[in-house]
Structure 1
Amino acid sequence: MSDSRIHPTSIIEQGARIGDRVNIGPFCHIGSEAVIGDDVELISHVVVMGRTIVGNGSKVYPNAVLGGDPQNTKHKGGHTTLVIGKNCVIREGVTMHRGTDGSLGITTVGDNCMFLAYAHVAHDCVIGDNVTFSNNVMIGGHVSIGNNVIIGGGAGIHQFVRVGHHAFIGGLAALASDLVPYGMAIGNHAYLGGLNIIGMKRSGMARPEIHNLRHAVRMLFDRTKSIKSRADDVRAAFPESAAVADLIDFITTDTKRAYCTPPLDSAIEISDSDDNS
């Protein structure tokens, strides 16, 4: 704990592991199994419970509760874990729960993630790197979220849903189906309203690949066949496209949920105004 500062009003239970250069402000409570990485700052009134690991360089704001028991009746009190990656920002009132002893047993948050006020991460979720939860985002148990996903304020994601990398979920959306990589889900219940063109550009995706994905998604969701039966046609149409292959791999992976699709009364539209390429 070299160079660490711990306010005298905070409680650090015996057995907790505190890294170097940690700053723990007033009225925090760190449980006996917690691991606080180097250069972490807990501003004040932060609770870290159970077997919870907070990665190096993360910053946690007041009234966040990390590592609480899963809200799942199947959990019988076994030893489970929450792992939070490096350089995460966790704002006021955020809650994250450990995994359940009858399932994965671990909830995982990647590096460089941002969780705005009152967001919730449920048990057994797997969250990638560079993910942003806006205020009041709620995700159920066993949700998988890929890298570089942005979720708008007040959105809710059903348990067991998969969200592909670089996807965007609009504010107040209720997502009950799997969302393909680069997909943009909007509405309540959420539907596939196009592709996250802005996210593609920010990620450095080449212009030809953006065009490939646009055409591939139109083919995939044209409703003349089922989505999975269309997958082989799409893969064959773009044999040299790594982005399309990635999309089809997502579609052909076994899942517990249906797919987020365009509204029944319209084909998918991807506005040219979103992409000047």
Structure 2
Amino acid sequence: MTIHPTAILDASARIAQDVEIGPWCTVGPNVVLAAGVRLISHVVVQQDTDVGAGTIIHPFAVIGGDPQHNGYKGESVRLEIGINNLIREHCTFNRGTPQGTGVTVVGSNNLFMTGAHVGHDCVVGDNVVMANNATLGGHAHVGDRVFLGGLCAVHQNGRVGQGAIVGGLAAVTRDVIPYGSAWGNHARLHGLNLIGLKRKGYGKDQLRRLLAAYRDLFEGAGEFAGRIGRVAEAYADLPEIMEIVAFIREGGKRPLCLPGE
């Protein structure tokens, strides 16, 4: 364990043997820093926060801060962060609220660039990239392998399905389907995240079928509800399409992000 003499640690904090805590860091009550965690310098881990093994936090990040919610009155709420995350300068992650789930959950192997914000009660999956100053409002859900462009903002209670990409500066007021590509202000759906799918190893034939299903779902004849049923039946062998169908049918507190100008 390497702890700089200027660092301040609460007596209740639990710190693994090989953690590195740099100059002027503050580690508050009921914080857990797992093996291999590094706080570079000037990092605040405020309280009631678990930081998973191998996570690196850069200067001036404030992790486990109080939820930015008028109803919060100091109740016990938490933040849980998975393993091998890279959290860059000035990021802010808030704990949950009693009005929500009581816990904010961040997965593993994520990259949070400078100034990214994760609001109270959010759920962030694995292998997510949040570019500079990307923002999640309270209760937002972000699936695995999502890319959120710089300065985009996901509305509170919004959902972004796994494998989706959101463009920079996008105002995401509607739920983005898994593998979708959304951008603009306000954000609209502009097809599938083909770059992400190609990087995942999808071949031309697979992409053609996925695109055909997308067109049948969003551009086909008849009412949307009827198209959902037809697509679910015609493409039942494509797990990605079935995931999109399940995402739509599950619904959320926000409307669905749809194609448009």
1:186 alignment counterpart: 183
1:240 alignment counterpart: 237
Displacement of 1:114 after TM fit? Answer: 0.5
Tell me the matched-pair count. Answer: 261
CA distance in 2, matches of 1:180, 1:93: 29
CA distance in 2, matches of 1:24, 1:123: 25
| Cα pair distance change 1:140/1:225, threshold 3 Å | farther
8 Å CA contact retained: 1:64, 1:91: yes
- CA offsets 1:196-244 (integer angstroms, 9 cap, x no match): 1010111223543322221111111127444333210111121222221
1:220 alignment counterpart: 217
Which one-letter code corresponds to 2:143 in the other structure?
A: G
Displacement of 1:31 after TM fit? Answer: 0.5
CA distance in 2, matches of 1:214, 1:96: 36
8 Å CA contact retained: 1:171, 1:186: yes
5+ residue gaps, structure 2, are none
Give the TM-score, by structure 2 length: 0.97
Map 1:3-14 → 2, pairs under 5 A: 4-14=1-11
Give the CA RMSD over aligned residues.
Answer: 1.3
Which one-letter code corresponds to 1:246 in the other structure?
A: E
Helix, strand or coil at the partner of 2:150 = coil
Helix, strand or coil at the partner of 1:236 = helix
Helix, strand or coil at the partner of 2:105 = strand
CA distance in 1, matches of 2:212, 2:226: 17
Map 1:124-139 → 2, pairs under 5 A: 124-139=121-136
1:57 alignment counterpart: 54
Is 1:40 the counterpart of 2:37? The answer is yes
Map 1:100-249 → 2, pairs under 5 A: 100-222=97-219, 224-249=221-246
CA distance in 2, matches of 1:136, 1:124: 19
Stretches (4+) displaced over 6 A: none
Helix, strand or coil at the partner of 2:93 = strand
8 Å CA contact retained: 2:117, 2:135: yes
8 Å CA contact retained: 2:220, 2:227: no
Helix, strand or coil at the partner of 2:219 = coil
Displacement of 1:50 after TM fit? Answer: 1.7
Helix, strand or coil at the partner of 1:221 = helix
Which one-letter code corresponds to 1:113 in the other structure?
A: N
8 Å CA contact retained: 2:14, 2:31: yes
8 Å CA contact retained: 2:64, 2:79: yes
Structure 1 residue corresponding to 2:258, chosen from 249, 257, 261: 261
Which one-letter code corresponds to 1:234 in the other structure?
A: V
Instruction: Quote the sequence identity (%).
Output: 45
- CA offsets 1:30-65 (integer angstroms, 9 cap, x no match): 002100010011000000012101110010000000
Helix, strand or coil at the partner of 1:104 = coil
| Cα pair distance change 1:20/1:225, threshold 3 Å | farther
CA distance in 2, matches of 1:254, 1:197: 24
